[in-house]
Amino acid sequence: MKKAPLFLCIAMLAIQAQTSFAHGDLHERILLISEEIESAPDNSTLYFERGKLYFYHEQYLLSVDDLDKAGELGYNDFLHNLFYAKAYQKLNNNTKAIFYTDKILSYDSKNVNAIKIKAEVLFKQKEFETSALFFQQLINKSKRTLPENYTQAAKAYHNCTGKKMRMQCYVVLDKGINTLGELPTLLKEKIRYYKKDKLFPEALLVQKEIIKNSQRKETAYFEAALLAIAMKDSAVAKQYLKQSENALFALPKRIQLNKSMQSLLASISKQKNLLTNKH
């Protein structure tokens, strides 16, 4: 099994740090910078900085107001346009969000931040084919991609109307697996689409990879059993149900008795009874 790259772990830590910052001293920083603005009302940078803080504080209208004021005072750079795009995206003003992403892409066609926002907005507008192509650009132009880049692209592809475009969802997920390793997120997404397309044998092949990679296998075996049942292969389904049950009973008693394991055991028994009653 290919291990997840170190940068994925670093990225998660960065996200956690940003979340902590966003819910920490933002309000105090907004108050401090507001005092600075009172002393220097013509300072465009101060308005821009407060506009960013308002964005992180989820006060998007106030963010846009400050970005406007910064612009009136002469502030204009990539980040100014990017925060406009991000704020308008949050405000569901898709037209203006795309206006600012296009403005960025007009002078920096490889800007992955703008590409990502545009892809997300196009998806929201149900322009799935164009959205998928922009998500594909995001993957191709990113130095380091995250699992969500591939899952978002797959989602856009699978929502397309043409079969050829829909099938691209599997291609992009395979690319993610080859690049990032057999991450459960990517494997489970692939199974989800196979199930939607009623491609149960293909889904079971991927589920076998999940079983192989899992330290605890009781749930993975049960999911395989459900896929075998969908394939109407009772013999294989019974084998997986037995393996799921055995894996569960091999766990320490305290884990066997927890709510989730008792629920799984009940589900195993239910499926075994249903299969028995069919014969």
Per-residue pLDDT tens listing for the chain (279 residues)? 454 455 444 444 454 445 445 455 889 999 999 999 999 999 999 999 999 999 999 999 999 999 999 999 999 999 999 999 999 999 999 999 999 999 999 999 999 999 999 999 999 999 999 999 999 999 999 988 899 999 999 999 999 999 999 999 999 999 999 999 999 999 999 999 999 999 999 999 999 999 999 999 999 999 999 999 999 999 999 999 999 999 999 999 999 999 999 999 999 999 999 999 876
Q: Give pLDDT, residue 25.
A: 86
Q: Give pLDDT, residue 145.
A: 86
Helix (DSSP H) and strand (DSSP E) numbers for the chain: 16, 0
The position carrying tokens 């600012």 is 100
Nearest Cα residue to 111 out of 78, 85, 87, 80 = 78
- The encoded tokens of residue 142 equal 């990113």
- The encoded tokens of residue 203 equal 């889904």
Collect contacts of 54-62 with beta carbons under 8 A, ≥24 apart. Answer: 54/30, 55/83, 55/86, 55/87, 55/90, 56/21, 56/22, 56/26, 57/22, 57/26, 57/27, 57/30, 58/90, 60/87, 60/90, 60/91, 61/91
pTM: 0.83
Task: Give 79-97 pLDDT, tens digit per residue.
Answer: 999 999 999 999 999 999 9
Q: Give pLDDT, residue 279.
A: 61
Return the exposure string of 86-121: e unless at least 16 CB atoms fall within 10 Å of the residue's CB, then b: bbbbeeeebebbbebbebbbeeeeebbbbbbbbbbb
Q: Give pLDDT, residue 278.
A: 74
Q: Give pLDDT, residue 15.
A: 45
C-alpha span between 30 and 204 (Å, rounded): 53
| Residue 194 burial (CB count, 10 A) | 21
Q: Give pLDDT, residue 19.
A: 47
Check if the beta carbon of residue 221 is closer than 8 Å to that of residue 243.
Answer: yes
- The encoded tokens of residue 110 equal 């490889």
CA distance readout (Å), 248 to 119, 225, 244: 43, 14, 6
SS (H, E, C) 3-36: CCCHHHHHHHHHHHHHHHHHCCCHHHHHHHHHHH
